[in-house]
Every structure is written in C-alpha cells, then in structure tokens.
C-alpha cells in the first residue's frame, strides 16, 4: 500500500477553511454524496491519515487497514469533525485542547485527511 503524501498545508489551516466555535478548522476536499451526517454514537467506516503540524505522520488507517470504532470513541476534535461530514473527504486541523490535550505526550495541533465511507446508526 502506498504511503499517504503529507499535505502542503499541515502547519496551519488554509485561509478558506471553515472554523467551529471549538477552534476546529475543516475543509471539504472532495464533495460527497447524500445529506446524512454521523451522530456521536454512529459507527463509521473511514480512511484517514494524521500528521503533526511539523509534517510528521503519526497515524494512518490507510497504512494499517483499521478504522476508529465510532464517532464518539475518538479524540473530541475527531468526534466533532466527523459529525460535520457527509460521505466525502475532508481535512481537519484540530487544536491541542480538543486533540489529546497533552495526554500520551501529545503537545501538537493535529491535521487529519479523512474520507467518510459509510455511516451506521
């Protein structure tokens, strides 16, 4: 399986990214289908890759072939971002306080490229 390419804009969200009250920035990379959005309790099938803002990949379902179990069982920024999606591909820039907030030694903002494939209720 090919290694995902580090996006050019990991250092900070692009000017055209939308922002939520929590500070999450997101951008639709590929327009999706349907109007359904996952709920916090939804199980989702996704492909994703994550980078720190210095460009280091720290996680990738593409490389491991695994997915998060549900929208509500991941870091708060992920839960928030996935609920904004329909079946499409987005990028999320997650501030530290809604990422791991210092847990597991994480002191960075995180960047994810996420493709939402299916939503189960």
Find the domain containing 102 and state its range. Answer: 39-120
Specify if 43 maps to a domain: yes
**Does residue 13 belong to any structural domain of this protein?**
no
Give the pLDDT confidence of 70-117 residue by residue, as tens digits.
555 678 888 899 999 988 888 888 888 787 765 655 556 888 888 888
Q: Write the CATH number for 66.
A: 3.10.50.40
For 99, how many CA atoms within 13 A lie in the half-sphere containing its CB? 22
Number of domains in the chain: 1
Per cent of the chain over pLDDT 90 is 13
3-state secondary structure the chain: CCCCCCCCCCCCCCCCCEECCCCCEEEEEEEEECCCCCCCCCEEEEEEEEEECCCCEEEEHHHHCCCCCCCCCCCHHHHHHHHCCCEEEEEEEECHHHCCCCHHHCCCCEEEEEEEEEEEC
Average pLDDT, the chain: 81
Q: Is residue 16 included in any domain, yes or no?
A: no
Lowest-confidence pick of 34-38, 45-49, 102-106: 102-106
């Amino acid at each position: 399986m090919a290694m995902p390419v580090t996006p050019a804009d990991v250092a900070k969200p692009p000017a055209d990214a939308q922002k939520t009250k929590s500070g999450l920035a997101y951008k639709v990379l590929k327009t999706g289908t349907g109007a359904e959005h996952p709920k916090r309790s939804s199980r989702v099938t996704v492909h994703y890759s994550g980078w720190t803002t210095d460009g280091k990949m720290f996680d990738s379902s593409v490389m491991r072939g695994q997915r998060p179990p549900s929208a509500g069982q991941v870091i708060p920024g992920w839960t928030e971002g996935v609920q904004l999606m329909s079946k499409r591909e987005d990028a999320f820039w997650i501030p530290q306080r809604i990422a791991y907030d210092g847990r597991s030694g994480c002191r960075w903002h995180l960047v994810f490229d996420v493709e939402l494939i299916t939503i189960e209720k």
